[in-house]
Chains A and B, each alone.
Chain A
Amino acid sequence: MNTETNKQGRYSEVYQLNFGPQHPSTHGVLHMLVEMDGETCIGVDTKIGYLHRGMEKLLESRTYLQGLPYTDRLDYLAGVNNNLPYVLAVEKLLGVEVPARASLLRMLTCEIMRLASYMVGVGIYIMDLGAVSGVFYPFQEREYALDCMSALCGARMTQSYIRYGGVQADINEEFDVAYQKLVAETPRFIEMYHKLVDENEIFLRRTKGIGVISAEDAMDYALTGPNLRASGVDYDLRRDAPYCLYDRFKIEVPVLTAGDCYARYVQRMLEVEKIFQLIKEIYAALKEEPAGEIMAKIPKVLKPAAGEAYAQTENPKGIMGCLVASEGKLNPLRVHFRRPSFDNIAIFEKIMPGHKVADLVSIIASFDIVLGEIDG
C-alpha cells in the first residue's frame, strides 16, 4: 500500500471509497470500490449484479413469444431496440422473410426510441454535473417520442412491439398525430439545448480533457456505440453491417476524435440530429410503402429447428448481440445477450485512475450506462 507523502508533502494513507450502489449519479445500482490517495482516484474496481434478474434464464424457461416482453427490461430506456436482436436471431433459426413494411416499422420505432434514449442520456449527464434544469427539457422531448410509441402499441417504455415475423400493429391516426408533434418539437429542442449547455463554462471545465479514451483503447476494450465514435472510430452497424432495411437509407455517422467526456456529449447531440433526419426519412418511406402485411406467415407455435443463431443490432448504448441456441423445443436451450453497457464500463478501470471524485461522476454520466442491461 502506498503510504508515502503526497504531492503537497502531507502524509496520507490510501483508503477505499464505496461509490454507489445507492448513489444518484451511478445511474441505478452501479457499485465502484474506489481506491483513493487523498482526493485522487488511484484504482477502481467495478462491482455489478445488484439488478440481476436472471434475464437469460427467464428467457430459457419460457416459450419464444413469452420471453419477448422480458427483453424490454434489459435496456429499459429503449424497449423495442432490445426486442430486435432476439427476434432477428430467432427469425434466422425460423428462416422467415419479414415484410418490407414491418421492417420499416421496426426501424422507425427503433429510431424513435433511440432518440428517446439519447434524450435521457444527455439529460441525466447534465443533471449529474449539477445542472438540474438540464434534465427537464430532454425529458419533455422524450415524452413526445414515448407518446408516439404508446399510440402505436399502448406502452410507453416496455413496448415489446416487435414480433417474430413482423410487428404487433400498424400505424394509426393517433400515431401520426403524435409523430407530427415530435417532428415539430425536435428541431426547436436541439437548438435550445445547444444554447443551454454548449458554452456553459462549468460544464466545459468539468468535461473537457476528462476521461480521455484513445481510439486504440476504445477498440481494445470493445467499446461500442457513441462512446466508441467519440474516440474517433468510425463504426456503426446500421451502416457497416445493415440489418432490417437500413441499407436502403444513407446513414450519416458523426465521428469525433477527442474521446473525452465533452466529446461524448457532443457526439450524442450530433447523433440526435442524424437520428431525427433518419426518422423523417423512414416515415416518408413508410408512407410510400403500400399498406399491406405487417406479419410474415409464421406458425402459431414456434419451434425453431435445432441450431444456433446470432444477430446484432446498433442500440442506443452500443452493439447489442443475441445468441439463441435451439434444440427444436418450445423454449430456447440457451439465450445470451451481448449487452453494450456491460462491455463499455470495462474501460473505467483504465481511464478513471488519476481523476478526482467529481470527475468520476462526469465519466460515469458521459457513458450513458443503464444498469438493467449491465446486470441482465
Chain B
Amino acid sequence: MFGKGILKGLGVTVKEAVSPRLTEKYPEEKPHLPTRWRGGMFALDQEACISCGLCAMACPNKVIRQKFEKDENNKKYCTEFVMERQYCLYCGLCVEACPKSCLHLTLEFETAVYNSADVPQDLLANNNMDKQLSTYGAKPPLPKPVPPRPAVSPAAEVAAPDLPKGGEK
C-alpha cells in the first residue's frame, strides 16, 4: 500500500512528540558545563604569575597583549595583560603553556556584552579569580616522585618540564 512507510514514520514522530522533553529551558535552567569547559572568560592568578610571556607566545592568534617592566630588584612584572577575546579560538593552548598553571578558563558562557570595547578582558583590572574555574589544562598529579637524575642534559630538561603539583580542582 502506498503511504504505509509514511504512516509508519508518522507513528515514530508522534511517539517522539509525546516523549519526555530533552531541551533545557534556558534561561531558567542553566546548561550543565563540563568541568574541563573551554570557553567563556579567562582568569589570572596574579600572585603566581611570573611574567614569563609563554602564554602569549603559545597563542596562535595574538590574543594576549602583554607589557612587562622590571622593578628595582630586576624582577619582571606585568603592566598590561589583556585578552583580546574577539580573536580567541578557545584552543586553550595559552592555559596549557603556562608553567605556573596560573592562567585559567572559567565556567561561564553568558559572555555577551553590549559594547565591542568590553570584549577584551583586562586581567590586571579584574583577575576574575572569584569565578568558578575550568579544570582545562590542569596538570595531573605526578604518579610518583621521580628520583633526581645525576646529569641532566639541557635537551632532556626541555623534554621533561617541571610539572607543578596539584590535581584537578
Contact = CB atoms under 8 A, between A and B. Distances in A.
Question: Do A and B originate from a single complex?
Answer: yes
Interface of A: 62, 65-70, 131, 133, 137, 140, 147, 150-155, 158, 160, 168-170, 172, 174, 192, 195-204, 297-301
B27 interface: no
B96 to A, nearest CB: 8
A66 B22 contact: no
Contact of B13 (A69, A133, A151, A153): A133
Nearest to B10: A196
Contacts of B36: 150-154, 169, 172, 174
Contacts of A299: 155, 158-159
Contacts of B39: 154-155
A143 B168 CA distance: 26
A299 B158 CA distance: 6
Contacts of A301: 158
Contacts of A133: 13
Contacts of A155: 38-39, 90, 92
8 contacts: A66-B58, A66-B59, A69-B89, A154-B36, A154-B134, A160-B92, A199-B9, A203-B5
Contacts of A68: 91
A196 B13 contact: yes
A155 B92 CA distance: 10
Chain B residues touching A, range: 35 or more
Interface of B: 2-6, 8-9, 11-13, 16, 22, 34-39, 58-60, 89-93, 96, 105, 134, 136, 140, 155, 158-161, 168
A202 B5 CA distance: 9
A42 B136 CA distance: 54
B135 to A, nearest CB: 9
A160 B96 CA distance: 13
B35 to A, nearest CB: 6
Contact of A199 (B4, B22, B59): B4
A137 B5 CA distance: 18
Contacts of B22: 140
The 10 closest A-B pairs by CB, nearest first: A199-B5, A154-B38, A69-B91, A66-B60, A154-B36, A151-B34, A196-B12, A200-B5, A196-B9, A154-B136
A77 B30 CA distance: 25
Contacts of A158: 89-91
Nearest to A149: B34
Contacts of A168: 96
Contact of A160 (B9, B34, B91, B158): B91
A154 B92 contact: yes
Contacts of B159: 297-300
B60 A62 contact: yes
B38 A202 contact: no
Contact of B35 (A66, A69, A174): A174
B158 A199 contact: no
A66 B60 CA distance: 5
Contact of B60 (A69, A170, A172, A195): A69
Given A150-B34, A154-B39, 18 more contacts: A69-B60, A69-B93, A131-B9, A140-B22, A150-B36, A152-B36, A154-B36, A154-B38, A154-B136, A155-B38, A155-B90, A172-B35, A174-B34, A192-B12, A199-B9, A203-B5, A297-B160, A299-B159
B16 A137 contact: yes
Contacts of B34: 147, 150-151, 154, 174
